[in-house]
């Protein structure tokens, strides 16, 4: 078996652009959430991801039930909960880090549902990441509350559930998958917004939303969802996953960096230590198989 080659420069820059968009997205959503209620914000995100793209992008050949389950998990379970958490209960930089635990939740769900075996390096990676989450839990304050931490962990679990649904869908066009699953993200988000946020709050938000707020909505739907997933799928179609996937480790780096630069989110030593532990766990899980292959080839 050959070792995966490095990404060509242009492909590396494309991958870097995607993870930069995904990471800085957390600071951008925080700004928009100062104007717009979180569930309304999520509703608009998925509405603009669905339309007008659904008129030009074919529905993937997967059962409707899988699209529906994916849409509910990612729309309401991941982003609906994540937006509520970032608005009031956790800083965007910490959210960008904690939500990456979806990688380990995906492993745990695959073990529980599909009977996959957990490897030794995955156990170690999980312990490292859990250590990072424990550091965060020991330093909760007004910007990173216990409720906020729990909500982002739930969002990560929902994301992991969506990963498992996508895996059971087989090899599909993920851009089309995202577009058409957005159809099923909309009902729970819209109903939740009407029930929990109320018509007057929705009306006020829509009337007072400025250009920056609408730009943030478009960034969520077009940049973060459509461009991000399309570009990532394009890269994965041309390179081994072991070459592309480690780039995702930069998402919390961009997330915490953008929050510090744009929103003046402090980065004390304990946050950096927590980030180092979580990212180390993710790196071990993503890169150990490739490293082991290289060592075996020596």
DSSP state for residue 57 in the 8-state scheme: S
pLDDT tens for 245-297 read 778 888 889 999 999 999 999 989 999 999 999 988 888 877 776 666 665 66
Please state the rounded mean pLDDT for residues 15-19: 90
Q: Is the pLDDT of residue 3 over 50?
A: no
Domain containing residue 283: 9-292
Domain contains 84 = yes
| Distance from the Cα of residue 181 to its chain's centroid | 16
pLDDT tens for 144-158 read 899 999 999 999 999
Domain contains 3 = no
With 0-12 CB in 10 A as exposed, 13-18 as middle and 19+ as buried, what is 151? buried
* pLDDT score recorded for residue 1: 40
Q: Is the pLDDT of residue 210 over 50?
A: yes
Domain contains 297 = no
* pLDDT score recorded for residue 2: 44
Domain contains 55 = yes
Domain contains 1 = no
Average pLDDT, the chain: 87
19-23, 141-145, 196-200, 203-207: the lowest-pLDDT one: 141-145
4-8, 53-57, 147-151: the lowest-pLDDT one: 4-8
Q: Are 247 and 73 in contact (CB under 8 A)?
A: no
Please state the rounded mean pLDDT for residues 56-62: 90
Strand partners for 144: 90
* pLDDT score recorded for residue 289: 67
Domain contains 4 = no
Domain contains 2 = no
3-class SS at 7? coil
Residue 237 CB: number of other CB atoms within 10 A?
A: 11
* pLDDT score recorded for residue 122: 78
Domain contains 270 = yes
CA distances from 192 to 36, 40, 181 (A): 14, 9, 18
Please count the structural domains in the chain: 1
**CA neighbor of 30 nearest in space, from 190, 194, 258:** 258
The HSE-up count of residue 138 (CA atoms within 13 Å, CB side) is 10
pLDDT tens for 62-112 read 999 999 999 999 999 999 999 999 999 999 999 999 998 888 888 888 888
**pTM of the model as a whole:** 0.88
Q: Higher confidence at residue 115 or residue 48?
A: 48
């Amino acid at each position: 078996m050959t070792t995966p080659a490095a990404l060509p420069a242009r492909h590396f820059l494309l991958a870097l652009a995607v993870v930069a968009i995904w990471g800085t997205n957390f600071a951008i959503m925080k700004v928009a959430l100062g104007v717009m209620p979180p569930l309304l914000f999520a509703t608009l995100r998925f509405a603009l991801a669905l339309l007008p793209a659904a008129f030009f992008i074919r529905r993937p050949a997967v059962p409707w039930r899988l699209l529906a389950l994916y849409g509910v998990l990612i729309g309401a379970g991941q982003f609906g909960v994540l937006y509520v958490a970032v608005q009031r209960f956790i800083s965007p930089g910490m959210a960008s880090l904690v939500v990456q635990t979806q990688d380990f939740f995906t492993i745990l769900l695959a073990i529980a549902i599909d009977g996959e075996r957990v490897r030794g390096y995955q156990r170690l990676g999980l312990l490292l990441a859990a250590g990072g989450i424990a550091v965060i839990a020991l330093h909760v304050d007004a910007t990173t509350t216990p409720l906020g931490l729990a909500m982002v962990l739930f969002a990560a679990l929902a994301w992991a559930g969506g990963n498992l649904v996508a895996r059971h869908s087989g090899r599909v066009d993920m851009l089309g998958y995202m577009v058409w699953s957005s159809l099923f993200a909309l009902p729970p988000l819209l109903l939740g917004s009407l029930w929990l946020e109320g018509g007057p709050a929705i009306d006020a938000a829509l009337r007072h939303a400025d250009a920056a707020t609408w730009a943030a909505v478009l960034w969520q739907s077009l940049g973060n969802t459509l461009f991000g997933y399309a570009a990532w799928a394009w890269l994965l179609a041309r390179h081994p996953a072991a070459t592309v996937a480690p780039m995702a480790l930069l998402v919390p780096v961009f997330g915490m960096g953008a929050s510090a630069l744009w929103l003046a989110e402090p980065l004390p030593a304990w946050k950096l230590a927590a980030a180092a532990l979580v990212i180390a766990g993710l790196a071990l899980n993503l890169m150990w198989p490739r490293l082991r292959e290289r060592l075996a080839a020596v």
